[in-house]
Amino acid sequence: MKLSIQNLTKTYKNGVKAIDNVSIEIGTGMFGLLGPNGAGKSSLMRTIATLQDPDSGKIFFEGNDILENKMELRKTLGYLPQSFGVYPKMSAEDLLFYFATLKGISSKQEQRRIVQEVLEITNLYDMKDKNVAGYSGGMKQRFGIAQLLLNNPRLIIVDEPTAGLDPAERHRFLNVLREVGTNSTVIFSTHIVEDVKELCNEMAILNGGRILKHTTPMEATKEMEGQIWTKTISREELDANKTMFDILSSNFNQDNTLNIRVLSETKPSEDFKAATPQLDDVYFKYLKEDEVNAKTIV
Amino acid sequence: MLKIFKFELKYWFKNPTFYVFLGLFFLISVLFAAISGGIFESLTGSNVSTRIVNSPVGINDIFNGISIFIWFLIPSVIGASVYRDFKSNMHSILFSYPFTKAQYLFGKFLSSLFVVSLIILGIMLGIMLGFKLPGTNEQILTSFNIVPYLKAYFVFIIPNVLFIGAIVFGVVTFTRNIAAGFIAIILFLFIGDIIEIIFDQDKDILYRSLLNPFGGEALYYYTKKWTLAERNVNPIPIQEILIYNRLIWIGVSTILFSLIYKFFQFHQNAISFSFKKNEGERFVKQNFGNIINIELPKVTFDYSFLYNLKASWKFSNMDLKYIIRSWPFIIIAGVGVLFLVISSTTFGEIFGTNTYPRTWQMLLIPGTIFTFFLMIITFLYSGLLIHRSRTSGINVIEDCTTIPNWTLILSKFIALLKMQALLFLVVIISGISIQTYRGYYDYEIGHYLFDIYILQFASVVIWTFLAFFIQTLFKNTYIGFFVLLVLYIGIPYLSAIGIEQSIFKYNQGPGYRYSDMNGYGAFLSPFFIYKAYWTILGLALFILSITLWTRGITFSIKERLSIAKKRFNPKTAISFGVLIIAFFSLGFKIYHENNIKNKRYTQKDRELQRVEWEKKYRKYSSFLQPKIVAVDVDMQIFPKERNFKAIGEYTLVNKTDKPIDSILLNHNDYPSKFEFSKENNLVSEDTVFHFDIYRFKTPMQPNDTLKFTFEIENKEHTALRTSSPIIENGTFFHNTHFPSIGYPDGQELRDDGIREKYGLPKNDLRPHPSDSTALGNTYIAKDADWIDFQATVSTSMDQIAIAPGYLQKEWEKDGRRYFQYKMDSKILNFYAFNSARYEVVKENWNDINLEIYYHKGHDYNLDRMMKGLKESLKYNSENFSPYQHKQARIIEFPLTEGSFAQSFPNTIPYSESVGFIAEVNDEDNEALDYPYAITAHEVAHQWWAHQVIGADVLGATMLSESLSEYVSLKVLEKGYDKQKMQVFLKDALDKYTTSRTFETKREKPLMYNDGQGYVRYQKGSLVFYALSDYIGEEKLNNTLKEYVEKVKFQTAPYTTSEEMVSYIEKVTPDSLKYVIDDMFRTVTLYRNKIISVETEELENGKFKVDIEFEVAKSRYNDKGKVYYNLQEGDTLSYQKEGRKKPLYSAPLADYIEIGIFGEEEKDGKTKEKELYLKKHKITEIHNKVSIIVDEKPKEVGVDPYYKLIDRNSNDNRKDI
């Protein structure tokens, strides 16, 4: 169960290079795709999900060239898009029956069984007769998972599923996803570092259509051990510090002072304290590097 | 406000759509104007040369006509101006900005209105340019004049756009749905029809004029009686009713807009309707997650073709549910059904009398309007369905499932077919309900199903293929819809640019008609071939739709094309290729049959042929020829095979006093053999015109006799072509299929303008009756005077065959039936053969055998026809002369052969549609017993045509048709009261005054008429009826009797209208001589009008009635130009206060009836009672009379029974 992407490139009509020569291999388990808004995450995922064709490059899943043989992939694919709509005036159950038919489940009995099961898994059973169009954001995302499960997929693609969910919803959602992900390849995109930390055994950071780093959350933080430093400064000192240090992130305290985290091989100055690297630090490090590189190109 | 206005304009001026629309409409307008200006005349044949196409009325029509298409833009321009803000969710931000409601709404509305009015200016410029293009026909164009354009723009179009715009703006603002705006437009397209159906009476014209929101009807109020000459020059009259109409509707628009203003709120939600009340329920979601185990049940997957096919069917039900539950469908279908019901109340109506609700008639009810609604729904929903998953956003999930594209598109296609089938079911149910309601229980379910679900459905399915292709091509449903609408309306008109053959025009081809007698006859085979041809193309388009189907997310056309290229794999390519090859092969086969195997001529070719024909052969028109004196025909009819063979013998005599050395033989393109009993050479043979010249070795001396024999039969039929007039049941074979002698002038072009173009002299159609050299022929046939006639007709065993004459012998041989007929007296060279499976009813009246041959089941009105036969025979023989035959027969023929009856000697073929299935209601005062009236008319022809026949000069039809119609009225009058007669007279009057406005050649006085129906029937009957009132029926009939006595069965020189009028004039007193001038010698129309009426009850219980009325008389020349003077300076004029122009009249010394009417109870019904009726001598235009009557008057009238020819029949009477 290996997904292999080779030299994938996609440029949109307006000149934006959404995917820029991406090559990556993804194995079983949860794979987190981390990147800011507009990094090309959705484009990449839509391309894998056979919704759009790349300009060049190849994608293989279990040895199949999926760009040439989309139907083969679709048989094993579960896809939850970043945003999706539903037909108005249709209940969750009816829509799931509809999707079950779309996905090739022929027996009415089996359809009934699996629809009931996915409704229970996603805890939507009590709401199955309500129109999906009237669902709240979290319920709709769970419905998205329910439909995705119908064909027992081996490749699952979920595009920013946690955006807009409240903490309890998010938690529940991630639990379901984790459970689903044990036996299949799950590609999970997000711009929330926390999600990846909690969930993924592998990850990549994507920006400007390029993979900046392919690693695991554990390794990534380990790599940066001893390089993260922190100190508290006042609001006015920020600009001065910026020129002196490589600031990865800064956040306000309640008394209007700032905590800054700085990347440095050695202790930058006496007033810094060493800090344990967080996944955030890794994320910001690569984004910042990329920004600098991109600028130098210009 | 100005800010929003400017902002919106900027949006449009930057938007390429604006320029696309502007350009599109400009081009359409150029094209339209150029076409009507005759730019394609070199391809399509010439336009009528007397109608100026850019006259004020012409400009107004074309400008308004094209502007109707603008309506479809209004939802996407005016409606969208608000919708855009909702759609982009801008409204939540925008509405918090500091401008007022008024600023927002006015800004939006006026700016978009401004944009639309700019596009309309584009139309205006387009029309102006189109008329000016080089290559247009200068004969039909007058010099440029800006005024009509401005009037059309400011008086009609802009107020209409304002009105429609206000409605659409309101609808879209409150529903936040552009589709709703579209529905509003579609409904408004039909509002004129709806008003017309509600106010269908002629007298309701004022309501119609005021209520029609677009002003067309109000304009028509003024222009409807304009003759061509007036139409060509008169400016658009902006007068009272039109002004009121415009003010009313501008007012309504203003009110609408203020209502929108009042109810509009920035923070509103779209108004939605729901019949279900949702009970509120409190939901608390489970907020504490638990760890779960996922163990999905094992399911089996099926990706087979069969499974996907089943899935299509399943999804189609879902899509169908979506369609029939949505508002646009419910509204459009609802209105469509409403139309169905309304139009079903008056089907088959002739003279106020309906027909029995036969199934074939029920099947005509969907007609064009319901089908149009069906197509609109199809065009709209093909787009909505195709784009539905994308609009709802579910496509991102659907598109990455394993379902193949074809399953999705097929499911939507099936859904549409089911929707159409459902609507068609409504037609069947309505049909059966109407039949039941009318107490008619002969339901032909099989016929319903076949006609609806096979024949009518075929066309709809073929359009649906195209709709799918177009809607797949365009991402925007409404653009697709607009394109489809233009194609649907435009394709049938492609002939206007010279594309005449159906194989080049999508879903065009021969139609079909049904008759009770002959079913669908031979129509079906070509119909199915063409439908198969288009279905094949439809399937090919369907394959293209599948390859172009948008799956996933595509951004550019290039991308879609490259995907389509990939999808066009060998399998697809092969099936597409096979279809295309089949399409072209079948197309070629049809083309070959129509163009190569049989020569095909375009309209233009035909026009040129007529020119060539005349130039080549006109010189023979006065070539002396022998005349036919006897005809003997052996006519073999083979109904099943639809073949015939005729072997005929003409006996010809040289009746001239000079030798004749050649004979001109005019025949058809049937395979034929000709033989003369005299030695001859074929010196000229024309295979195009089938006009041959044979020269005798020795000339035919005066009084010499010659036998001419011919043998003709039809060519073989093919699946596409029928080559004979024989039909399976109900053949009506006219002797025009047989050869004739001499040059026939019926082929000549009539239009003098077109003739001039081809260098032909002006055409006077026929010589004047005073030309004594022109009286040698009857107007029926040039090659014969009176003939002896006999015929043997054979047909199949189950049919009866009929020809004029008396049955001499009937026998059977070799499985065929033979009938031998012989006429005992001389007849005109005018006969026909009928054959069908007939039922017969016979009666004997005064030694005359009366027989009706009818189709089984068509026995509803046999009594009425019998009565008509008797009464007419009685009236004619008592008043004019004895009947020349001992028999009179009516013979039914199918409506596919025509809707008329025709009088041959002792034989009257009579279409099934003009009497046999009429449901006559004697109680209804407005309903004519037309089976009776038509029978009376046809019987009268046995005198007025078959005894008295006019020479082939102007006015000849007055002697036959006008007199027959007069007799019919007189026979009808016997059993009827005056009130009922008045309905028919008014009907004839309105038909005459309306039809004459369409005249393009000339309208001559009755005595010199060119044979137009509206002159010889309507005007003729009115004139003779009025004459019998003025000089007395007895006096008139007596002088006619004298006339008949003198001219009946005469030989050349034949009689003329002048001769008859001289008999009438003889018995007319001097004071009424003017009537003869008005009625026969000139085209004279009255304008009689009651201005006001006042009554006063007198002390003795009587009533004094003061009537103010106008009488004016105008005359028209041939071209429809009005004049008032008889001699220089004798025109009367009357200047009324407050009127701009005086009223003119020809000098008056006329006797005009003044009537006063009350009411009386008769058999529980209120009926009109005549209190006073007298002719007053009128010498002035403006008159006042004071009359005392005994009872309370209710109504007064000037010429209240419509005896005189009056330009406006609606103001002759006035209620008190």
DSSP string, B844-890: EETTEEEEEEE-TT--TTHHHHHHHHHHHHHHHHHHT---S-SEEEE
Query: Region B688-713: what's the mean pLDDT?
Result: 94
pLDDT at B121 over 90: yes
HSE at residue B775, side-chain half, CA atoms within 13 A, is 16
Could you tell me the pTM of the whole model? 0.89
| Residue B264: how many other CB atoms lie within 10 Å | 16
pLDDT (0 to 100) of residue B512: 93
pLDDT (0 to 100) of residue B1047: 95
- Asked if B89 reaches chain A (Cβ–Cβ under 8 Å), the answer is no
Cβ-Cβ contacts under 8 Å for A159 (sequence gap 6 or more) = A41, A42, A45, A46, A79, A80, A81, A82, A189
Percent of chain B with pLDDT over 70: 96
User: Crossing angle of helices B56-71/B16-36, nearest 10°?
Assistant: 150
The shortest C-alpha distance from A72 to chain B (Å) reads 8
Question: Chain B neighbours among A 28-57 (CB < 8 Å)?
Answer: 46, 49-53
Mean pLDDT, all residues of chain B? 89
pLDDT (0 to 100) of residue B1004: 94
Q: Which of B263, B287, B320 is the last residue of a domain?
A: B263
Which range among A93-107, A195-209, B1141-1155 shows the weakest confidence by mean pLDDT? A195-209
Query: Region B258-284: what's the mean pLDDT?
Result: 62
Pairwise CB contact (< 8 Å): B300 & A107: yes
B1017 contacts B1138 by C-beta, under 8 angstroms: no
The shortest C-alpha distance from A257 to chain B (Å) reads 35
- Asked if A175 reaches chain B (Cβ–Cβ under 8 Å), the answer is yes
Cis peptide before B98 (omega within 30 of 0): no
B440 in the same domain as B397 = yes
pLDDT at B835 over 80: yes
Could you tell me the CATH number of the domain that includes residue B1045?
A: 1.10.390.10
- Asked if A142 reaches chain B (Cβ–Cβ under 8 Å), the answer is no
What are the tens digits of pLDDT across the range B130-175?
999 988 888 889 899 999 999 999 999 999 999 999 998 888 888 7
Q: For residue A98, give the chain B residue with the closest CA.
A: B315
Band of residue B292 on the pLDDT scale cut at 50, 70, 90: low
- The DSSP bridge partners found for residue B892 are B910
B848 contacts B870 by C-beta, under 8 angstroms: no
pLDDT (0 to 100) of residue A161: 86
Residue in this structure with the two tokens 């194989």, named with its chain if needed:
B503
B329 in the same domain as B220 = no
Domain of residue B60, residue span: 2-263
Question: Using a CB-CB distance cutoff of 8 angstroms, which residues of chain A are in contact with residue B89?
Answer: none
- Asked if B325 reaches chain A (Cβ–Cβ under 8 Å), the answer is yes
B358 in the same domain as B340 = yes
Band of residue B926 on the pLDDT scale cut at 50, 70, 90: confident
pLDDT (0 to 100) of residue B291: 58
Tell me if B171 is assigned to some domain: yes
Query: Region A256-276: what's the mean pLDDT?
Result: 86
Helix (H) or strand (E) holding B1116: strand B1113-1116
- The DSSP bridge partners found for residue B710 are B648, B674
B184 in the same domain as B327 = no
Band of residue B268 on the pLDDT scale cut at 50, 70, 90: low
B455 in the same domain as B322 = yes
pLDDT at B577 over 60: yes
Band of residue A298 on the pLDDT scale cut at 50, 70, 90: very low
Band of residue B91 on the pLDDT scale cut at 50, 70, 90: low
Question: Chain A neighbours among B 398-417 (CB < 8 Å)?
Answer: 398-404
Question: Using a CB-CB distance cutoff of 8 angstroms, which residues of chain B are in contact with residue A50?
Answer: 399-400, 552
Specify the amino acid at residue A88: P
Q: What backbone phi and psi angles, to 5 degrees, belong to B94?
A: -60, -40
B1184 in the same domain as B1105 = yes
pLDDT at A86 over 70: yes
Tell me if B756 is assigned to some domain: no
Question: Chain A neighbours among B 537-566 (CB < 8 Å)?
Answer: 552-556, 559, 563
B1100 in the same domain as B1001 = no
Q: What is the DSSP letter of A191?
A: S
Two structure tokens written together for B826: 């001389």
B915 in the same domain as B995 = no
pLDDT (0 to 100) of residue B332: 81
B894 contacts B515 by C-beta, under 8 angstroms: yes
Q: For residue A158, give the chain B residue with the closest CA.
A: B397
Tell me if B410 is assigned to some domain: yes
Q: Which of B906, B921, B936 is the last residue of a domain?
A: B921
Percent of chain B with pLDDT over 90: 61
- Asked if A149 reaches chain B (Cβ–Cβ under 8 Å), the answer is yes
Task: Say how many domains are in chain B.
Answer: 6
Rounded Cα–Cα distance for residues B1151 and B1142 (Å): 23
B368 in the same domain as B228 = no
pLDDT at B311 over 60: yes
Query: Region B763-778: what's the mean pLDDT?
Result: 88
CA distances from B967 to B163, B875, B1202 (A): 53, 8, 18
Tell me if B537 is assigned to some domain: yes
Band of residue B274 on the pLDDT scale cut at 50, 70, 90: very low
Tell me if B732 is assigned to some domain: yes
Q: Given B293, B298, B392, which is nearest A87 (Cβ)?
A: B392
Rounded Cα–Cα distance for residues B808 and B603 (Å): 47
Band of residue A2 on the pLDDT scale cut at 50, 70, 90: confident
- Asked if B270 reaches chain A (Cβ–Cβ under 8 Å), the answer is no
B579 in the same domain as B632 = no
pLDDT (0 to 100) of residue B176: 76
pLDDT (0 to 100) of residue B744: 87
Q: What is the DSSP letter of B901?
A: B
Question: Chain A neighbours among B 299-318 (CB < 8 Å)?
Answer: 299-303, 307, 311, 314-315, 318
Tell me if B1031 is assigned to some domain: yes
A211 contacts A297 by C-beta, under 8 angstroms: no
A184 contacts A62 by C-beta, under 8 angstroms: no
Which of A98, A289, A280, A141 is CA-nearest to residue A210? A289
Pairwise CB contact (< 8 Å): B401 & A103: yes
Rounded Cα–Cα distance for residues B1011 and B1017 (Å): 9
Could you tell me the CATH number of the domain that includes residue B869?
A: 3.30.2010.30
Tell me if B210 is assigned to some domain: yes
pLDDT (0 to 100) of residue B137: 87
Pairwise CB contact (< 8 Å): A104 & B303: yes
pLDDT (0 to 100) of residue A297: 47
pLDDT (0 to 100) of residue B1129: 78
Four-point Cα dihedral A35, A39, A41, A42, nearest 10: 140
For chain A, how many residues are written? 298
The shortest C-alpha distance from A253 to chain B (Å) reads 30
Cβ-Cβ contacts under 8 Å for B926 (sequence gap 6 or more) = B352, B983
Band of residue A252 on the pLDDT scale cut at 50, 70, 90: confident
Question: Chain A neighbours among B 887-926 (CB < 8 Å)?
Answer: none
Query: Region B896-910: what's the mean pLDDT?
Result: 94
pLDDT (0 to 100) of residue B97: 66
Rounded Cα–Cα distance for residues B67 and B48 (Å): 25
Two structure tokens written together for B225: 């009686």
* Edge-to-edge strand ranges of the sheet holding B806-813: B672-676, B705-713, B643-653, B627-638, B784-796, B816-822, B806-813
Which range among B47-56, B781-790, B1097-1106 shows the weakest confidence by mean pLDDT? B47-56
Q: Which of B580, B597, B614 is the last residue of a domain?
A: B597
Rounded Cα–Cα distance for residues B1056 and B949 (Å): 9
Pairwise CB contact (< 8 Å): B402 & A74: yes
Q: For residue B556, give the chain A residue with the closest CA.
A: A13
Rounded Cα–Cα distance for residues B733 and B835 (Å): 9
- Asked if A83 reaches chain B (Cβ–Cβ under 8 Å), the answer is yes
B798 in the same domain as B677 = yes
| Residue B304: how many other CB atoms lie within 10 Å | 11
Rounded Cα–Cα distance for residues B1156 and B1095 (Å): 11
Sign of CA dihedral B228, B229, B230, B231: positive
CA distances from B75 to B174, B186, B475 (A): 13, 11, 17
B72 in the same domain as B51 = yes
| Residue A163: how many other CB atoms lie within 10 Å | 16
Tell me if B947 is assigned to some domain: no
Pairwise CB contact (< 8 Å): A75 & B303: yes
The most confident of B260-264, B417-421, B760-764, by mean pLDDT: B417-421
pLDDT at A101 over 60: yes
Rg (CA), chain B: 35
Q: Given A71, A110, A176, which is nearest B292 (Cβ)?
A: A176
Cβ-Cβ contacts under 8 Å for B216 (sequence gap 6 or more) = B64, B156, B192
Query: Region B41-62: what's the mean pLDDT?
Result: 87
Cβ-Cβ contacts under 8 Å for B1030 (sequence gap 6 or more) = B1068, B1072, B1075, B1151
